[in-house]
């Protein structure tokens, strides 16, 4: 499998026939570089980590949608609680969804002990009116969030199974600051455990799209823009950094 970026023909003159002739010519001269294709278990792990990222993105969208409906109904819970979907926030939201309102004494029962000093602020932030339509919208998003959480849990269990043979690599990766198990799984899924395809660290950073561009002419730097690279490993490493 060849890397399409490395075998592009002259711009503006690309047809299937001319493209095939150009690839055949490159092949005769030995100018086609092999593309990185990881083994089957790594490809399966890659599918799972990418799907997990997609489900987390959808879950974040649903949480934002709930926040928007709450704000529209004058419920300012997010200004008092840092994580509305934490343990205390979930209890309060579940009560709101079932009853449509919440009383001050019920707030004290739902929140965590460490948040007792915020009881009055939380009560004031919940002073709003949820219409039947808004409750319906929040319930729809809430059911989708719980379903996505179950899917993510199943995916993570499957990822753990595939990572059993790479425990040494995982332990080595998590010794780096900013990298935990999930990020380590993404790194292994994207670059594999065999580093023969990356002779040096510079090759790997270039493949990931994390090295500056090199466009110099007559001693002047024209551009240092990075290439696209692999977006999945790129985002994981940037998040860790």
Q: What is the pLDDT of residues 203-232, one digit of tens each?
A: 888 888 888 777 777 777 777 777 777 889
DSSP at 197:
G
SS (H, E, C) 64-130: HHHHHHHHHCCCCHHHCCCCCCCHHHHHHHHHHHHHCCCCHHHHHHHCCHHHHHHHHHHHHHCCCCC
Q: pLDDT at position 13, please? A: 67
Q: What is the pTM of this model?
A: 0.78
What the block records as the tokens of 94 is 């579940």
pLDDT per position as a tens digit, 98-120 = 777 677 667 766 777 677 677 77
What is the widest separation between alpha-carbon atoms in the chain?
Answer: 80
Cα distances from 140 to residues 16, 97, 146, 240, in angstroms, run 48, 11, 10, 33
Residue 60: what pLDDT? 94
Confidence band of 80 (pLDDT split at 50, 70, 90): confident
140 Cβ partners below 8 Å, 6+ apart? none
Residue 141: pLDDT band with limits 50, 70, 90:
very high
């Amino acid at each position: 499998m060849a890397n399409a970026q490395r075998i592009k023909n002259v711009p503006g003159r690309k047809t299937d026939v001319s493209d095939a002739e150009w690839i055949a010519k490159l092949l005769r001269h030995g100018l086609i570089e092999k593309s990185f294709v990881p083994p089957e278990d790594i490809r399966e792990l890659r599918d799972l980590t990418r799907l997990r990222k997609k489900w987390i993105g959808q879950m974040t969208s649903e949480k934002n949608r709930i926040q928007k409906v709450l704000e529209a109904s004058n419920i300012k819970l997010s200004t008092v609680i840092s994580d509305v979907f934490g343990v205390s926030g979930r209890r309060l939201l579940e009560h709101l969804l079932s009853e449509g309102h919440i009383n001050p004494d019920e707030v004290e029962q739902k929140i965590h002990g460490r948040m007792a000093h915020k009881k009055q602020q939380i009560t004031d932030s919940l002073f709003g009116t949820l219409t039947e339509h808004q409750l319906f919208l929040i319930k729809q998003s809430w059911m989708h969030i719980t379903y996505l959480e179950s899917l993510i849990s199943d995916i993570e269990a499957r990822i753990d199974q595939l990572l059993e043979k790479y425990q040494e690599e995982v332990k080595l990766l998590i010794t780096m600051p900013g990298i935990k198990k999930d990020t380590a799984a993404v790194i292994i899924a994207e670059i594999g455990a065999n580093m023969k395809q990356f002779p040096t660290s510079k090759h790997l950073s270039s493949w990931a799209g994390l090295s500056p561009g090199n466009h110099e002419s007559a001693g002047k730097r024209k551009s240092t823009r990075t290439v696209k690279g692999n977006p999945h490993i790129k985002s994981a490493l940037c998040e860790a950094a």
